[in-house]
Amino acid sequence: REESFRTELVLCVVLLPLGFWLGDSGVERALLAGSLLLVLAMELMNSAMETVVDRVSLEWDELGRIAKDIGSAAVLVTMLNVLLVWGLVLIPRYL
């Protein structure tokens, strides 16, 4: 149901094989793949939390908005983690 999850899933399907190919060791492959899977897991948690907030009340609520914003921020942090991990693993190799 969630467009953002579908987009992240497509990116994961593209980047996951690339991560296995670019990683030189099992640890590198695990870091590259794990960072991508963490985004999907966090997006699922965010979607679940948003569903619960909407189930409790469809009326606008300040605490509900804050909860949804925090969930979205958690997804953003995991996306930044992908950039950090992929950058730290791959950039030194090409510099």
Alpha helix segments (H runs only) across 1-95: 3-22, 26-56, 62-94
- Check pLDDT > 80 for residue 82: yes
Could you tell me the two tokens for 52? 């619960």
CB 36 within 8 A of CB 12: yes
Residues labelled catalytic:
43
CB 46 within 8 A of CB 72: yes
Report the predicted TM-score, pTM, of the whole model to 2 decimal places: 0.89
**Over the stretch 3-17, which tens digit does the pLDDT of each residue have?**
999 999 999 999 999
Alpha-carbon distance 30 to 90, whole Å? 13
- Check pLDDT > 80 for residue 1: no
pLDDT, position 10: 96
For every residue of 31-47, DSSP letters joined together read: HHHHHHHHHHHHHHHHH
Alpha-carbon distance 10 to 15, whole Å? 9
